[in-house]
Amino acid sequence: MAYSWKFFRAGGFDQVKLETGADLANLDQLDQKLWVALACPTRGLEFDSRTLDLIDTDKDGRVRAPEIIAATKWITGLLKPPDELIKGAASLPLDAINDATPEGKQILSSAREILRNLGKADAKAIDLEDTADTAKIFAATNFNGDGIIPADASDSEATRAVIAEIIAIYGADKDRSGKSGINQAKADAFFAEVQAYSDWWKQASGDQTILPLGEATSAAAAALKAVRSKVDDFFARCQLAAFDARSIPAMNREEKEYFVMTVKELHLGSAEIVTLPLAQIAPGKALPLTEGVNPAWATALTALQTAAIQPLLGERTVLTEADWNAIKARLAPFETWTTSKVGVKVESLGLTRLHEILASPARVEIDALIAKDKALEPEANAIAVVEKLIRYNRDLYTLATNFVNFKNFYSRTTPAIFQAGRLYLDQRSCDLCLTVEDAGRHAVMAGLAGAYLAYCDCVRKSTGEKLSIVAIFSQGDDDNLMVGRNGVFYDRKGNDYDATITKILASPISLRQAFWSPYKKLVRMIEEQIAKRAASADADVNTNLSTAAQVTANADKSKPEAKKLDIGMIAALSVAFGSIGTALAYFLGLFKGVPPWQLPVIGLALMLMISGPSVILAYVKLRKRNLGPILDANGWAVNAKAKINVPFGTSLTGIAKLPPGSTVDISDRYAEKSSIWPKVLVVVLLLWWIWAFMDDMGILWRLTKTWDTPLGKPPASAGSTSGGSGATTSTNSTTGIAITNSVAK
């Protein structure tokens, strides 16, 4: 049978309720069209990234709906009461683990093993901290299932020495206990190198052709190699000198080249000395080994004489070309043999030590130790599964209420995992703040949300930490919001950052802002025009003053000219005042004949006509504000129209308010002194309105009908004859007052 779901409405759409472990266990039966989100990133959220990495089984950096379903299926099958998930506790009771399944039984056994290793054998629950330090868990054992054995895993001193040599050559792997050890791959590589090097030596063992000097042949070949090119050069020069004696001075270098050397600081390693011939060049000359030798090569020739010439040819003070060729021929097989050398990494241990290792049982013992450790792999790996179980038990329900539904976001009791913190700026606090990596790229998509977005760069100067956020302003106005304004951002851990607005995407913020927007625009326009006119007038005055100053300076004082009255200026002023008066009269004439009590209604109607379109447009836009594009720009896949309507938006941005019970001292010593004339004008207009209202209703006439000259006008019924009452009206010829007499029928 299909699972019976419950839903709640928030954000203008229906969201599934997740109230029990059974709800989570049956998520595979919930149509994904009803999920609020279908994917989210594993980074940039106020959520444990390690837990997200465990859920992200394909390791693509995103958690998707199938992975959420797989995680809930797995954990609800391992818990006896699935409702344990709803608690979101960091500590998992051992009796909550379902040991009726093989996996559950293994996990329960591993959990108890962890607690025993930590000295908590009697504990009834296990928490995340118990699984965090694997080195502490495995400190008491050398075998932990990771396939790595430290040197002290063996009881044999000889085997421990071999393990130490392998670590020295190939480097160490860290065991789960934190010790340095080796794995099977390194052990196999070491013994393979030892065997290969030993077999390579066997090819030359006892062969006088390859090893004419035995083990000393290697030193002789090295000494030969060090001077080969230089000795060959010497004998080639001598042959050329025998061919043509004219080349001898050039072969021995000209004297002027030595003069060049004298101006430099020389040493035996100087290139100028090293490149000189080994000895003086002469036709058919032998190479001297002791005297008359290039000092830069004296040491190398001595090594050649000791390691190769003397053992192979006997005592020599000079080396002929024939002797040189003989030495090269005797060592040529060795040089050919060395080109096929293998096992170079273990050569430093020496052939004798390598033979000892091959003869010992070290390899068999090491293989056995590694196999013993690997045999415990299932139990050891179950420790990682215990950590996974604890993490899912603590975090999975929270993730579901920020993925399958947005309960945390719309409840306003617990911040959603995408809410990075709170921004304080312009006497407001913004709770809907998200971290962003690239404000420019984020704004392309987030601009479709219809919300007022302010991008800020945040810096903690004490630590150098930096982050970028986007904050949604959903209450107040934007009069004082601009790029460059500074505020303070608090992250979810309470750390404070200096925040600076770097980019703004403007949209309506509130209905109040929309209502006053036309008047603010009018005031700004008037201010701009006044500023332009004032600037123009100031420029004209400065020009006129400058002109007047020049005229005055150049005037002929002997012939003063009488100042003429500027008739044009007077006419212009008259026209200006006349225009103002005409406009005022026209404006007041519009209300001629309008009953005074209707004037406030007309004023209200005018305000509605001016502000109404702006308010209606803002209301439509505010109702369409959508969280989806903002989250999508951060890598989410939001599957619903997560609206931020006017009431909900108001709750996301707080405005400064005085606390209840506060008192305010309104005296301000620096307050601007207000003029009395606006108040006088208001009082006059109010009195005029009252007078006009009373006059229109005939109240003044009734109050003064006994006067000789009544004020105001008579009521509409005065001077008429009522057919039913027989009333007659006469006029006093002296006072001019109409008198009505009623005659009963």
pLDDT in tens, 84-142: 899 999 899 999 999 998 889 988 988 988 888 788 889 999 998 888 766 566 665 66
Q: Answer for the pair 280, 253: CB distance below 8 angstroms, yes or no.
A: no
pLDDT at 1: 62
Is 90 exceeded by the pLDDT of residue 391? yes
pLDDT at 336: 85
pLDDT at 267: 75
Q: Which amino acid is at 449?
A: A
- Cα 92 from Cα 493, distance rounded (Å): 25
Quick one: which of 197, 198, 215 has its CA closest to 207? 215
pLDDT at 212: 85
30: number of CA atoms within 13 Å, CB side? 28
Is 50 exceeded by the pLDDT of residue 733? no
- Cα 386 from Cα 110, distance rounded (Å): 7
Q: Which amino acid is at 121?
A: A
Q: Which tokens hold the place of 174?
A: 């860290």
Is 80 exceeded by the pLDDT of residue 328? yes
Q: Which tokens hold the place of 198?
A: 């030993």
Quick one: which of 438, 241, 380 has its CA closest to 321? 241
Quick one: which of 164, 101, 106, 102 has its CA closest to 376? 106
Q: Answer for the pair 469, 489: CB distance below 8 angstroms, yes or no.
A: yes
The stretch 621-631 carries a mean pLDDT of 87
Is 80 exceeded by the pLDDT of residue 12? yes
Confidence band for 721, pLDDT divided at 50, 70 and 90: very low
Q: What is the mean pLDDT of the chain?
A: 82
Secondary structure class of 572 (helix, strand, coil) = helix
pLDDT in tens, 573-587: 565 556 555 655 665
CA distances, 198 to each of 163, 193, 445, 487 (Å)? 19, 8, 68, 73
Confidence band for 567, pLDDT divided at 50, 70 and 90: low
Secondary structure class of 472 (helix, strand, coil) = strand
**Stretch among 178-187, 227-236, 537-546, 553-562 having the lowest mean pLDDT:** 553-562
The stretch 304-328 carries a mean pLDDT of 89
**Stretch among 196-205, 274-283, 507-516 having the lowest mean pLDDT:** 507-516
For the four alpha carbons of 604, 610, 615 and 617, in that order, the dihedral sign comes to positive
pLDDT at 550: 76
pLDDT in tens, 435-465: 999 999 999 999 899 899 999 999 999 899 9
The stretch 707-732 carries a mean pLDDT of 50
Q: Answer for the pair 405, 398: CB distance below 8 angstroms, yes or no.
A: no
- Cα 216 from Cα 334, distance rounded (Å): 11
pLDDT at 403: 96
Quick one: which of 414, 413, 455, 449 has its CA closest to 433? 455
Is 60 exceeded by the pLDDT of residue 731? no
- Cα 294 from Cα 268, distance rounded (Å): 9
The pTM score is: 0.61
Is 70 exceeded by the pLDDT of residue 480? yes
Q: For residue 160, count CB atoms less than 10 angstroms from its CB and return exposed for 0-12, middle for 13-18, buried for 19 or more.
A: middle
More confident residue, 742 or 620: 620
Confidence band for 556, pLDDT divided at 50, 70 and 90: low
Give 308's DSSP letter: I
Give the pairing type, strands 728-731 and 738-741. Answer: antiparallel
Confidence band for 555, pLDDT divided at 50, 70 and 90: low
Percentage of the chain beyond pLDDT 90 is 36
pLDDT in tens, 501-526: 999 998 888 777 667 667 667 666 77
pLDDT at 266: 75
Query: Nearest 5°: CA angle at 562, between 561 and 565?
Result: 135
Is 70 exceeded by the pLDDT of residue 294? yes
730 backbone φψ class: left, alpha, beta (φ>0; ψ -120 to 50): beta
Confidence band for 589, pLDDT divided at 50, 70 and 90: low
Q: Alpha helices of 82-216 — where are they, by DSSP H?
A: 84-87, 102-117, 128-132, 134-137, 157-170, 184-204
More confident residue, 269 or 249: 249
- Cα 167 from Cα 157, distance rounded (Å): 15
pLDDT at 153: 86
The stretch 12-29 carries a mean pLDDT of 93
Confidence band for 381, pLDDT divided at 50, 70 and 90: confident
Identify the residue whose tokens are 């002997």. Answer: 558
Q: Alpha helices of 624-676 — where are they, by DSSP H?
A: 628-632, 646-652
Strand partners, 336: none
Is 80 exceeded by the pLDDT of residue 485? yes
Query: Nearest 5°: CA angle at 355, between 352 and 361?
Result: 135
**Stretch among 29-33, 168-172, 552-556 having the lowest mean pLDDT:** 552-556
The stretch 469-481 carries a mean pLDDT of 90
Which DSSP string do the residues of 506-534 spell out, in sequence order?
-----HHHHHHHHHHHHHHHHHHHHHHHH
CB 352: neighbour CB atoms within 10 A? Answer: 7
**Stretch among 343-347, 458-462, 725-729 having the lowest mean pLDDT:** 725-729
Confidence band for 53, pLDDT divided at 50, 70 and 90: very high
pLDDT at 343: 86
Query: Residue 396: CB partners within 8 Å, gap ≥ 6?
Result: 24, 51, 71, 72, 75, 85
Q: Which H or E element spans position 454?
A: strand 452-460
More confident residue, 507 or 671: 507
Q: Which amino acid is at 31?
A: D
Q: Which tokens hold the place of 540?
A: 């004209």
pLDDT at 436: 95
Q: Which tokens hold the place of 170?
A: 């190939």
pLDDT at 141: 65
Is 50 exceeded by the pLDDT of residue 720? no
- Cα 411 from Cα 8, distance rounded (Å): 11
Quick one: which of 292, 250, 270 has its CA closest to 262? 270
- Cα 722 from Cα 145, distance rounded (Å): 117
Is 80 exceeded by the pLDDT of residue 672? no
Q: Which amino acid is at 716?
A: A
Question: Where along the chain do its domains lie?
Answer: 7-139+377-409, 149-205+356-375, 214-342, 418-507+625-655, 677-741
Report the Cα 298 to chain-centroid distance in Å.
Answer: 65
Q: Which H or E element spans position 14?
A: strand 13-16
Q: Which H or E element spans position 358?
A: helix 351-359
Percentage of the chain beyond pLDDT 70 is 80
Query: Residue 445: CB partners within 8 Å, gap ≥ 6?
Result: 629, 630, 632, 633
pLDDT in tens, 349-358: 988 899 999 9
More confident residue, 711 or 484: 484
